[in-house]
Amino acid sequence: MTTLIARTVSKACLPIIILFSVSLLLAGHDNPGGGFIGGVMFATAVSLMYVVFGLNYIEALYNNNWDKWFGIGLLVASLTGIGAMLFGYNFLRSMSIYATLPLVGSTKIISTTFFDIGVYLVVIGGLLYIFKSMGEDK
């Protein structure tokens, strides 16, 4: 499968797909998207690289422990829930504020975005962990 075209195109596409997945993640609350979709998108992009270049090439470039990703994701998602408890609300209760950020302007910041980031990390980590364990097995 490693034709020149495939290599070139996938190299060019990888950053774009990853950027797109992040945009899906952040836009999820108001538009189609969200942690699940963004995560699967990211996982697809990386698995494309695995398929085109082979495991060893990718590992040489960027050796990652995907298990850490889903560990951190679970932590982030749970902490979002516990965060609400610190303010005396129920577990996972959401809240939102409007803030003015530099460059972006007036922005809505919602606590569930952090939960979604947790979901995103878990989906990426979980799927790619499966993928890598399977690919590594000789």
By CB under 8 A, residue 52 contacts another protein:
no
**Token pair for residue 74?**
């679970």
Binding residues with another protein: total (CB under 8 A)? 51
For another protein, which stretch binds (CB under 8 A), given 7-15, 22-30, 57-65, 99-107?
22-30
By CB under 8 A, residue 131 contacts another protein:
yes
For another protein, which stretch binds (CB under 8 A), given 5-13, 57-65, 99-107, 119-127?
119-127
Cα dihedral 36, 41, 42, 44 sign = positive
Q: How far apart are CA 70 and CA 77, in angstroms?
A: 10
Neighbours of 40 (CB within 10 A): 16
Nearer to another protein, 10 or 78 (CB): 78
Beta-bridged to residue 99, according to DSSP, are: 107
By CB under 8 A, residue 49 contacts another protein:
no
Q: How far apart are CA 67 and CA 1, in angstroms?
A: 28
By CB under 8 A, residue 30 contacts another protein:
yes
60 contacts 94 by C-beta, under 8 angstroms: no
**Token pair for residue 71?**
């560990």
Q: How far apart are CA 57 and CA 61, in angstroms?
A: 6
For another protein, which stretch binds (CB under 8 A), given 4-12, 56-64, 99-107, 111-119?
111-119
Chain residues that interact with another protein, rule: CB under 8 A: 24, 28-37, 39-41, 43-44, 47, 51, 66-67, 70-71, 73-74, 77-78, 81, 91-92, 94, 96, 108, 110, 112, 115-116, 118-119, 122-123, 125-127, 129-131, 133-137
